[in-house]
Amino acid sequence: MADRPTIIYLWGFMGSGKSFLGKQLASALHIPFVDLDEYIENHHKKTIAEIFDEVGEQAFRKWETDALHECSKVLLSYTEKGRAGLNYAGVVSCGGGTPCFHDNIHFMKAQGRTVWLNPPLDVLVLRLQKERAHRPLIADITPDTLTEFISERLNQRSPYYRQADLIISPAEHVDEILNGL
């Protein structure tokens, strides 16, 4: 483990279970959990869908980077002040695109440990089919082209995701738990 407090950043495509597993991980380690999308929504008082709609993806990516820096700073300062000696400062569940824009990947790798949650493609498709409406990037994709869209996007993003310190491919039984069984 690192000498100074470090942050665990969870990466992965939409629907890979980052928030669910992040909460479990943070609770097991007794450290704070931050969902980056929620952080952005609270800060700007808008949903992610509204942000994409009103200011567009480019502005969203800038706000996402700002949020990443801000929440990392808060987690580290809190740990240094109140809980010195603790190795992990917090768990941050990133948005699916966070490691792929600006210099976020290098920032995260310098601040902490990075984990890519990489479930099989069909698991992502199953989950995202149910949630298209809330996700601006796939809201307009028709069900019959969803698999192709996810597969292409995943291929584009894999070179970034692959740089994670740890890669986990959640097994099917984990998926059942994630779906609330």
- Least separation in angstroms between residue 97's CB and ligand S3P is 3
Residue placing its CB nearer to ligand S3P in the complex, 37 or 113: 37
- Least separation in angstroms between residue 101's CB and ligand S3P is 8
Residue placing its CB nearer to ligand S3P in the complex, 5 or 97: 97
Residues that bind ligand S3P (CB under 6 A): 14, 37, 48, 95-97, 135-137
The Cα–Cα gap between 157 and 150 comes to: 10
Write out the DSSP string of 28-59: HHT--EEEHHHHHHHHHTS-HHHHHHHTHHHH
Edge to edge, the sheet with strand 112-117 lists 33-35, 88-93, 6-11, 112-117, 166-168
**Residue 91 DSSP one-character state:** E
Q: 153 CB contacts (<8 Å, ≥6 apart)? A: 13, 137
- Least separation in angstroms between residue 54's CB and ligand S3P is 14
Residue placing its CB nearer to ligand S3P in the complex, 5 or 37: 37
Cα–Cα–Cα angle for 170, 67, 159, rounded to 5 degrees: 45
- Least separation in angstroms between residue 106's CB and ligand S3P is 18
Residue placing its CB nearer to ligand S3P in the complex, 86 or 167: 167
- Least separation in angstroms between residue 84's CB and ligand S3P is 31
Residue placing its CB nearer to ligand S3P in the complex, 5 or 95: 95
